[in-house]
């Protein structure tokens, strides 16, 4: 009856003209207007959720969100609550008058009209939400230029700083140089120039690049491109140079700082416009020699950095050594020690830190050593600098710490993993038998070396990496050469053939050769009866042929590192290295490596980043193997069955790039290894593993004794987790997965720090929140849960 009354009223309205009919149509279409609004509102919610997912993913990648996208989401977040509240009040239109015989037409008209207005607003907002892109890759900020805590505004530095600042602002000057001996503070001063220009906004862009000792054009191009947010699509250096050149030309005023230039760098080859090609592009360089700047780089405006004045040196020394040296008992000897550092900042810092909180007799002993320089003819370093750094070395606590310092110095290694592999192979960690204990020891030793300023924090701030000041490294190499008969040669020095002197070869305990042309220098048989460490590094592009008898007389070698080498066949004499404990074939081109199976005492095998397609069954003979690293072996297709399970002493397994578990390999005529084999490794405490298909995961694979792990299940794009996390678990379930979380899939994993879950059924999320999360929360640093799904009717438990 109610609808009949409304119909009659509308028929009368037609007779009154279009305006009246249009207004009353809001009453007639009341229900449909509300239904349309609700439908469009749900669509908007879906659009907003999808957009938010895209925004969240972009932020995880470190990308910036477009402003119009942020404004759109803000508008959506305003209109959705408003529309939801409005539709909730729709029951007001159902109020009736005349004892229920007549609907409240006035209320219906108002609400229906508002529903149409909101419907049109939502339609318009959805149309506006069709963006070509939602984010963009921002240029990376150079963390080295955020602050310069090492800079002290000493008067002896101010003139050089001001001269460089003025020259770089001169329109007729396009290139400026700063030079001085190693450890004098050139880099620190160059950073201060950059920070002041950034602060005063005198340049649109300031780019800081550390130049490799042997200029690497691609690396320099890459560093500049990273700061500019430029992505190269060209493969050749010349193509990248053109792209970089055009990008730099777009900057009206830009400063490029090339730090630590050792050799001539062709700016045109890099793609850096300067001079008449781009008046707004200024270049600042640092080098140890004025000849490099003026002779090789044709830089006419060069400024020297000298040692600190006596009062400045004392001020810095007091800051590093502590206030205790101001007492009358210490001040006289401390003053003399500071004077012996000869104003060289690196000497002052290392010596003062070494003597911090030491007793008076130790200070007196230090003074005596500083007054007896132990090195002559030391290239690029004053005797005072050498003796100062050597003193810091002598003050290191224990022989173990000293050996690690020298090892890092003469091998050029810069990561915790490398120190662990080399140190374990050489037997440097006395009383330690487990890999995890050794790793903790390495972290401790590296921390001590950083605290004593013998090592530096890595630019990435990642605790797994570190660096060493070049002057400190020179001293380390000199000490190792004298005390341990170590030979370290790089680049053109290798080609001198001095290292092939038969008389000297008999006494070397370590040989480190880094060169791209060493294949023309290798002897048929390397006769080094005392050699314990051999490291040969070359470029991937170089084809190296190791003579078949090359290793025949290296019976004492314990560590062998062949990095970035193209080895179609390993020499048969490799199998004679019965004392070998560590073998590293990092980033090498490998084919037949079956001979490795003869190394019965091998404990660490690193094939990381190598181009290898199949692990030979002979690897299963390495029953003493403790660590196997197969990370980034993207070409690896075959791991024979029952190979891994034979490595019963294995403590560390890194195998995150292999994704063909139990797959039939026709070319090899075998079926790949099964994940079940990992359950037969009783000593495993470290595991990095990627399992693309969650349905292949066997029950009970992960056990409580894993101390370090990075486990990825499902088709995740592998990303290195936070450097602060050593226990990461990521689970991505698709719609076709038939596993459940709640039965203990990760319950056995202890102390999870980084937990990412996606695609879990709702009941698993409830189980996680109510019963499991509490057991992880004490160690959990990152938690990410998304994309829940309804339970599968085929659900099974893992």
Stretch 179-206: mean pLDDT, rounded?
86
Pick the range with the lowest mean pLDDT from 233-247, 356-370, 673-687: 356-370
pLDDT recorded at residue 721 = 56
The answer to whether residues 595 and 574 touch, using CB atoms and an 8 Å cutoff, is yes
Cα–Cα distance measured from residue 171 to residue 127, given in angstroms and rounded to the nearest whole number: 51
Q: What is the average pLDDT value for the chain, to the nearest integer?
A: 81
- How far apart are alpha carbons 136 and 58 in whole angstroms? 8
Indicate the burial class of 745 (C-beta count within 10 angstroms; 0-12, 13-18, 19 or more): buried
* Alpha helix ranges (H) inside 594-664: none
Predicted confidence (pLDDT) per residue in 394-418, tens digit: 888 889 999 999 999 999 999 999 9
At 220 the pLDDT is 92
Distance (Å, whole) CA 94 – CA 104:
7
Q: Is the dihedral of CA 473, 475, 476, 482 positive or negative?
A: positive
Question: Is the confidence at residue 506, as pLDDT, over 50?
Answer: yes
CB 172 within 8 Å of CB 111: no
Question: How many Å from the N-terminal Cα to the C-terminal Cα in the chain?
Answer: 62
Tell me the CA distances in angstroms from 59 to 52, 64, 134, 780, one per residue in order: 10, 7, 11, 21
Q: Tell which residue, 80, 99, 4, 9, has the closest CA to residue 40.
A: 80
Residue bearing tokens 């005063």:
200
Question: What pLDDT is stored for residue 6 in this prediction?
Answer: 53
Q: Which helix (H) or strand (E) holds 758?
A: strand 754-758
The pLDDT of 335-341, averaged and rounded, is 85
The span from the CA of 90 to the CA of 593, in Å, is 77
Q: Which of 440-454, 469-483, 493-507 has the lowest mean pLDDT?
A: 493-507
Q: Mean pLDDT throughout 357-361?
A: 86
> Are 251 and 142 a contacting pair, CB within 8 Å?
no
DSSP assignments along 139-196, one per residue: PPP-GGGT--TT----HHHHHHHHHHHHHHH-TT--EEEEE-STTSSHHHHHHHHHHH
Most confident of 83-87, 142-146, 335-339, 741-745: 335-339
Q: Determine the pLDDT at residue 64.
A: 80
Closest by CA to 777, choosing from 798, 755, 745, is 755
Q: What are 561-619's pLDDT values in tens digits?
A: 998 887 778 899 999 999 999 999 998 888 889 999 999 999 999 999 888 888 999 99
Going from the C-alpha of 459 to that of each of 183, 193, 260, 467, 576, the distances in angstroms are 18, 19, 15, 8, 41
How would you class 652 by CB atoms within 10 Å of its CB: exposed for 0-12, middle for 13-18, buried for 19 or more? Answer: buried
**pTM of the complete model:** 0.62
Digit-coded pLDDT (tens) for 47-76: 888 888 888 887 776 678 888 888 998 988
Report helix, strand or coil for 33.
helix
Nearest to 148 by CA among 108, 196, 180: 196
Helix, strand or coil for residue 629? strand
211 three-state secondary structure: coil
Check residue 377 and give its pLDDT: 41
| Stronger pLDDT, 139 or 610, i.e. the higher one | 610
Confidence of residue 785 (pLDDT cuts 50, 70, 90): confident
CA angle centred on 556, ends 535 and 614, rounded to 5°? 55
Residues 309-335 have pLDDT tens digits of 888 988 889 888 887 887 878 888 898
Contact between 254 and 205 (Cβ < 8 Å): yes
Q: Is-contact 647 625, C-beta < 8 A?
A: yes
The fraction of the chain above a pLDDT of 70, given in percent, is: 79
Pick the most confident of 286-300, 393-407, 478-492. 393-407
Q: How confident is the model at residue 30 (pLDDT cuts 50, 70, 90)?
A: confident
Q: What is the pLDDT of residue 98?
A: 41
């Amino acid at each position: 009856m109610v609808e009949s009354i409304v119909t009659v009223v509308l028929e009368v309205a037609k007779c009154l003209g279009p305006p009246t009919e249009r207004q009353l149509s809001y009453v007639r279409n009341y229900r449909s207007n509300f239904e349309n609004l609700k439908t469009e509102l749900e669509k908007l919610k879906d659009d907003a959720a999808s957009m938010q997912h895209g925004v969240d993913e972009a932020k995880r990648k470190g990308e910036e969100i477009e402003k119009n996208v942020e404004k759109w989401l803000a508008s959506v977040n305003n209109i959705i609550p408003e529309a939801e509240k409005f539709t909730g009040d729709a029951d007001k239109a159902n109020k009736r008058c005349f004892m229920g015989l007549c609907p409240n037409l006035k209320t219906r008209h108002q609400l229906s009209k508002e529903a149409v207005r909101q419907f049109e607003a939502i339609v318009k907002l959805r149309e506006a939400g069709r963006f070509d892109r939602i984010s963009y890759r921002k240029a990376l900020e150079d963390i080295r230029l955020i602050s310069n805590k090492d800079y002290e505004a000493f008067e002896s530095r101010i003139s050089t700083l001001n001269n460089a600042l003025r020259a770089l602002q001169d329109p007729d000057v396009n290139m400026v140089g700063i030079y001085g001996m190693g450890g004098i503070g050139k880099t620190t001063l160059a950073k201060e120039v950059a920070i002041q220009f950034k602060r005063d906004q005198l340049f649109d862009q300031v780019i800081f690049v550390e130049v490799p000792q042997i200029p690497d054009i691609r690396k320099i191009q890459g560093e500049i491109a990273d700061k500019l947010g430029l992505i190269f699509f060209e493969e050749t250096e010349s193509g990248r140079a053109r792209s970089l050149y055009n990008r730099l030309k777009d900057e009206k005023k830009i400063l490029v700082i090339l730090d630590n230039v050792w050799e001539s760098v062709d700016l045109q080859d890099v793609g850096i416009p300067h001079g008449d090609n781009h008046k707004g592009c200024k270049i600042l360089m640092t080098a140890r020699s004025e000849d490099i700047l003026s002779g090789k780089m044709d830089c006419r405006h060069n400024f020297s950095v000298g040692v600190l004045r006596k009062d400045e040196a004392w001020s810095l020394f007091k800051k590093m050594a502590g206030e205790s040296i101001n007492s009358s008992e210490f001040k006289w000897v401390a003053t003399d020690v500071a004077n012996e550092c000869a104003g060289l900042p690196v000497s002052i810092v290392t010596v003062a830190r070494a003597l911090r909180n030491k007793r008076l007799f130790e200070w007196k002993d230090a003074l005596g050593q500083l007054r007896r320089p132990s090195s002559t003819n030391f290239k690029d370093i004053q005797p005072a600098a050498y003796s100062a750094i050597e003193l810091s070395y002598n003050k290191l606590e224990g022989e173990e710490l000293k050996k690690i310092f020298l090892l890092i110095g003469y091998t050029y290694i810069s990561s915790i993993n490398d120190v662990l592999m080399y140190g374990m192979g050489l037997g440097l960690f006395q009383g330690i038998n487990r890999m995890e204990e050794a790793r903790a020891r390495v972290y401790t030793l590296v921390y001590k070396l950083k605290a004593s300023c013998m090592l530096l924090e890595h630019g990435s701030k990642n605790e797994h990496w570190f660096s060493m000041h070049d002057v400190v490294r020179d001293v380390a190499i000199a000490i190792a050469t004298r005390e341990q008969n170590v030979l370290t040669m790089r680049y053109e020095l290798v080609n001198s053939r001095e290292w092939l002197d038969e008389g000297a070869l008999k006494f070397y305990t370590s040989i480190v050769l880094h060169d791209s042309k060493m294949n023309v220098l290798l002897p048929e048989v390397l006769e080094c009866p005392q050699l314990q460490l051999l490291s040969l590094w070359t470029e991937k592009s170089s084809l190296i042929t190791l003579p078949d008898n090359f290793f025949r007389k290296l019976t004492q070698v314990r560590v062998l590192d062949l990095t970035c080498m193209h080895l179609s066949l390993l020499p048969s004499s490799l199998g004679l290295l019965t004392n070998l404990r560590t073998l590293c074939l990092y980033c090498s081109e490998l084919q037949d490596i079956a001979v490795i199976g003869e190394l019965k005492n091998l404990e660490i095998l690193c094939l990381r980043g190598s181009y290898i397609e199949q692990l030979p069954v002979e690897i299963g003979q390495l029953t003493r193997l403790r660590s196997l690293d197969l990370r980034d072996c993207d070409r690896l297709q075959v791991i024979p069955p029952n190979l891994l399970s034979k490595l019963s002493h294995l403590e560390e397994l890194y195998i995150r790039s292999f994704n063909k578990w139990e797959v039939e390999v026709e070319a090899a005529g075998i079926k790949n290894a099964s994940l079940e084999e990992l359950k037969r490794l009783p000593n495993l405490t470290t595991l990095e593993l990627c399992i693309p298909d969650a349905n292949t995961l066997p029950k009970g694979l992960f056990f409580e004794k894993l101390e370090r792990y990075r486990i990825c299940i499902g088709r995740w794009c592998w990303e290195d987790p936070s450097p602060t996390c050593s226990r990461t678990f990521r689970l991505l379930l698709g719609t076709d997965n038939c596993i459940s979380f709640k039965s203990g899939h990760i319950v056995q994993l202890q102390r999870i720090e980084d937990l990412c879950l996606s695609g879990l059924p709702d009941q698993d999320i409830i189980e996680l929140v109510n019963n499991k999360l509490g057991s992880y929360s004490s160690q959990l640093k990152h938690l990410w849960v998304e994309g829940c799904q309804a339970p599968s009717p085929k659900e099974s438990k893992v």
